[in-house]
Amino acid sequence: MKKTVSVAPMMDCTDKHEIYFLSLISKNVHLYTEMIVANAIIRGDRKKLLSFKKIRNPVALQVGGSKESELAEACKISEQYGYKEINLNLGCPSKKVQKNKFGACLMQEPKLVARCIESMAKATKLPITIKTRIGYNEVEDFEFLKSFIQTTKDAGSQKFIIHARKALLKKLTPKENLNIPPLKYDFVYKLKDFFKNDEIIINGGIKTSEDIKNHFKRVDGVMIGRAIYHSPYFLAEIERKIFGNDNIPTRSEVMEKLIPYIQEETAKGVQLNHIMRHTVGLFHGQNGSRVWKQYLSKNMCIRDADLQKVNHLMDQIKKTKNISLER
C-alpha cells in the first residue's frame, strides 16, 4: 500500500483557496476540505460550497451530519464536483457540532454511524472514509476503538483516519481538545496490526519529516493539520524528504503562480483577503518573515484589499533584503 501524506480538514482553514494554494507547493500531498454540513450541501449554494479549481492532487470532501437521508443526498450531489473521496467527520469535539449531532459525539452511537455510512456508500461510487478519535470522555479503551472501526468497516468505510487523542466532549474547548488529551500513538499502531489489510492513517502532533518517517514504519499514512497551516512551506520539505521530489517552487514562485488564481477569483467577486489570509505563514522561520506578515495584515488581509496590491506586494518583498524569497 502506497504511503500517503494528507492535510487535515480544518474549519475556517482548508477552504477551496487554501487547497489551491497548497497544491502550488506540493504535488503529492492529499488535500481535504473543511467540514461542510450535509444539510448545507442540499439547501445551500452548491457551486459556492463544493466547486474548486481542478488540481493534480487528490481532493477529499469532508461532510458532517447524522441523518442518513441527508448524508446520502449530499453524497449524490457532491459526486459531480471532482472529489476523489467523501469523508465523514466523527472527530470534531466542538459544542456547536455536538449540538447538531455530528462529529466526535457520534462515537457514542456506533449503530447510527453504521447506518449513515451504509447510506452514503449506497448513494455514491466514491469511496467513503471516516476521521475519528481513539475515544471520548471516559471511554479510552483499545477494545472499544477496535470494535468501533470494525463497525464502520462493515458498514462500508474504506479508510480510517485516527486522531490519536480522545475527545473530551464536555470539559474542553476545540482548541484544548487539540492539545490537552495526551497522544496515544500506540492505539493507532495496534489498530493497524489488527486491520492489516486496511488503510490506517494517523493524525495528531506530527510536526517534522522525521515524525512522518517514524509513523510510516507502523501505519499507511499521516495526516497533518496545524503544522502545515501555520507553516505551509513545510510541504516543500515533505516533497524533498518524503517523496524524493526536488522540483519544488521557491516561495516567490508560489506567490507568482497564485496571482492568476487571485485574478480569476476576484473577477468572480471573491474578496482578496479570503485568499491572502492563507499565505501569512509562507515565510515562517525565514529572516524577515515578520515583514511579510505585517505587510499582509496591513494591506492584504483586510476586507477592502484590492488586486493592485498583489503586484505591489511582490515588488515590495523583492526589494526587502531582510526576507528570503528562496528555499
- State how far the alpha carbon of 162 is from the alpha carbons of 40, 130, 143, 224, 228, in Å: 26, 8, 15, 11, 18
Q: Rounded to two decimals, what is the model's pTM?
A: 0.94
Average pLDDT score over the chain: 91
User: Is 241 in contact with 225 (CB distance < 8 Å)?
Assistant: no
What contacts 185, CB < 8 A, 6 or more positions away? 164, 202, 204, 215, 218
User: Is 175 in contact with 204 (CB distance < 8 Å)?
Assistant: no
* pLDDT tens, position by position, 8-44: 999 999 999 999 999 999 999 999 999 999 999 999 9
pLDDT given at position 320: 58
Confidence of residue 2 (pLDDT cuts 50, 70, 90): very high
* pLDDT tens, position by position, 151-190: 999 999 999 999 999 988 887 677 777 777 899 999 999 9
The half-sphere exposure of 39 on its side-chain side, counting CA atoms within 13 A, is: 6
Higher pLDDT, 177 or 136: 136
- The three cell numbers of residue 238 are 515533505
Which of these CATH numbers, 3.30.365.10, 3.30.460.10, 1.20.120.1460, 1.10.238.10, describes 251-319? 1.20.120.1460
Is the CA virtual torsion 182, 165, 226, 161 positive or negative? positive
Which has the minimum average pLDDT: 41-50, 173-182, 235-244, 272-281?
173-182
Task: List, by residue range, all CATH 3.20.20.70 domains of the chain.
Answer: 4-241
pLDDT given at position 96: 78
* pLDDT tens, position by position, 55-106: 999 999 999 999 999 999 999 999 999 999 999 999 998 877 777 888 999 9
d(Cα 71, Cα 67) in Å, to the nearest integer? 6
Which of these CATH numbers, 3.30.70.580, 3.10.20.310, 3.40.50.20, 3.20.20.70, describes 4-241? 3.20.20.70
Q: Based on the residue annotation, tell me whether 92 is a catalytic residue of this protein.
A: yes
User: Is 14 in contact with 7 (CB distance < 8 Å)?
Assistant: yes
pLDDT given at position 25: 98
Cα angle vertex 180, ends 146, 131, to 5°? 40
Task: List, by residue range, all CATH 1.20.120.1460 domains of the chain.
Answer: 251-319
Strand runs (DSSP E) across the chain, as ranges?
4-7, 30-32, 36-37, 59-64, 85-90, 128-136, 159-167, 199-203, 221-224
Confidence of residue 325 (pLDDT cuts 50, 70, 90): very low
Residue 323 has pLDDT above 90, yes or no: no
- The three cell numbers of residue 47 are 457551486
Active site residue: 75, 92, 116, 301, which one?
92
Q: Which amino acid is at 14?
A: T
**Percentage, residues of the chain above pLDDT 90:** 74
pLDDT given at position 222: 98
